[in-house]
Amino acid sequence: MFRRDPLRAALAEVEEVLGQEVRPALPLLRAAFRRGGVLGAAREGRVVLAGLGGVPREGVFELASVTKPFTAALAGALVREGRLAWDAPISALGGPLRGFPHFVTARALATHTAGLPPHPARVMVTAFTHFQDPYGQMSAPGVLLSARRWASRRAAGRFVYSNLGAGVLALALAHAADEAVSAAGYAQALARHVTGPLALESVTATPHPARLVTPTATLFGEGVTGFGPLIGAGGLFGTAADLLIFGTAQLDGRAGTDWQAVTRSPGLPPHLTGVAPGWFQTRGVWWHDGVARGTRTALGFRPADGAAVTLLVRGGLPLWGPRGAVPATLLTLLGAPPLAGRPER
């Protein structure tokens, strides 16, 4: 008796939910889920979640840079409450944000156009000396100091993907929400303004170890990836089910509609047609992906028909083979296959 290919079976279920034929994505799925993971899709109230390679579909994963849409959602919630203005300098928030140049705004930080480098300068060293936790040796004041020092007026307005910028935004949001300017303060603000109201119980900075899907080990270490005070760039965890809820909450407005404010900034790579707070846009699909040391993630949605897709994958970037399989799979499933190769975030 032949056993049905689990990837083909999962893809067939996704096709039913999305209402379209997506078999061209099968080779990408095989590359992405080589070590297992969770594939999920939702549309018009129908949801499918498929655990692959022995991974439970309710497993909690590192979200890595898929944290950034949550950080942007918190910014949007604080804007709607009058605690923050998208286009005001964050220095107007006072306290530890004083001294930032006027071009560093919440919108600029959320769209990678604030003139900041990708990482704090010291990560050039700690990426090797503390591979699993490259930001953990920094403090929140140290992050803010680094950002103030390296913010460039010449680079402002140009797209430069920046974990430092997302981390600064999260700390500024904690301050705007009257929480401590720290990773814990950001987590508390997020729970109060975003994940709590949306009932996303799995999305947290401190997951229960029993539910956590163990990341694959690398040559340089094992365990989850630490983001320290740059938590807003990649320090959250969650399930595929809650990611789909978050994705559909963009479409029905429960998480705000700031994703609609798309701009085409100078410096955007060819595969992007725009960038919005917390999201990339590629030909009618809003999405983000993420890479931790031992896991990869992606979440996207298509406003045209309300479809949302997520991938939570065991295994970091491969040393050989397709390195962009996860975002390529996501975009293919949502009808916007990438036109050229790209690095994962």
DSSP labels, 152-164? -TTTTTS----HH
- Domain 6-333 part of CATH 3.20.20.70: no
Question: What confidence score (pLDDT) does residue 323 get?
Answer: 63
CA 328, CA 336: separation in Å to the nearest integer? Answer: 9
Q: Which two tokens stand for residue 100?
A: 């930032």
272-301: burial string, b at 16+ Cβ within 10 Å, e else: bebbbbbbbbbbebbbbbbbbbbbbbbbbb
**Model confidence, pTM:** 0.93
CA 107-245-192 angle, to 5 degrees, is: 60
Question: What confidence score (pLDDT) does residue 132 get?
Answer: 58
Question: What confidence score (pLDDT) does residue 341 get?
Answer: 46
Question: What confidence score (pLDDT) does residue 307 get?
Answer: 98
Question: What confidence score (pLDDT) does residue 339 get?
Answer: 58
For tokens 């990708």, name the residue. Answer: 118
Question: What confidence score (pLDDT) does residue 4 get?
Answer: 80
Domain ranges of the chain: 6-333
Q: How many CB atoms lie within 10 A of CB 252?
A: 9
Question: What confidence score (pLDDT) does residue 221 get?
Answer: 56
Q: What is the mean pLDDT of each run of 10 residues along the chain (345 residues)?
A: 81 96 93 95 98 96 97 98 98 97 98 93 52 72 96 97 97 98 98 98 95 73 78 97 98 97 96 97 97 92 98 77 83 84 45
Q: Which two tokens stand for residue 29?
A: 């799925």
